[in-house]
Structure 1
């Protein structure tokens, strides 16, 4: 696995469960897509530019799948996910020397959950999520877990 030295482009997503279908979604000039993920919950991929890149689509699909896996991990550990739980994924494409590579950064937000429990859920979700399994060992994946 090679670490990216120079990021050329990034695709970013924000995924959360929408509990209010009447809520305003996105901003002018963005495309909102409702995605369904593992577990059948509705997830929202919010704020993609009007012409999403491959990195944004990959991040969006991965975030929907990962959020579903996070829900499964929580149910296995008998933890209730907070209603404002969210996952932000940034997928980078870049270079190291002459080679081109992908990398990803996760920001998992589980407000009100104990830090050690939140970290365990986030790591378990990577073991469940098929996208995470597919890239494991092939691209650099960093993760931050926030509980406040």
Structure 2
């Protein structure tokens, strides 16, 4: 697997279930995306830049899929997720020698749960998520778990 030597561009996404229809939306100059995943429930990405780069679109699509896989994994482990859990994914394109490659960094936030529990759910979700399975072994994927 190749690791990025120098990041050229990154695309970020923040996925969470919108339980509040009155939540503040993006301001002028941003695009609000509502994506659906195989769970059928909509996921909102608020405040995406206009004319997003490919890395941001990939990050957003991966987030929509992964957050559903994360819920399935939590259910399989019989863990109740906090209502404010979220998934942030940064997909970067960078240079490696004379070529280019992708990399991804996940930040999973699940306040109030044990670090080991969230880590186990996150790893299981990667085994369930079709996007994670598609890139497995092909790009460097990091994981950061936040439980506070």
TM over 0.5: yes
**1:25-57: CA deviation from partner (whole Å, max 9, x where unpaired):** 223321110111132222111221111111111
Structure 1 residue 78: deviation in Å? 1.1
How many pairs are equivalent? Answer: 148
1:15: which partner in 2?
15
**1:59-112: CA deviation from partner (whole Å, max 9, x where unpaired):** 000000000000100111111111101000000001011010000000000111
C-alpha separation in 1, matches of 2:85 and 2:126: 16
Please list every run of 5 or more consecutive structure 1 residues that lacks an aligned counterpart in the other structure: none
1:107: which partner in 2?
107
C-alpha separation in 2, matches of 1:32 and 1:44: 7
C-alpha separation in 2, matches of 1:127 and 1:85: 20
Q: Do the aligned residues in 2 keep the contact of 1:55 with 1:93 (CA within 8 Å)?
A: yes
Query: Which stretches of structure 1, 4 residues or longer, exceed 6 Å deviation after superposition?
Result: none
Please list every run of 5 or more consecutive structure 2 residues that lacks an aligned counterpart in the other structure: none
C-alpha separation in 1, matches of 2:102 and 2:118: 26
TM-score between the two structures when normalised by the length of structure 2: 0.97
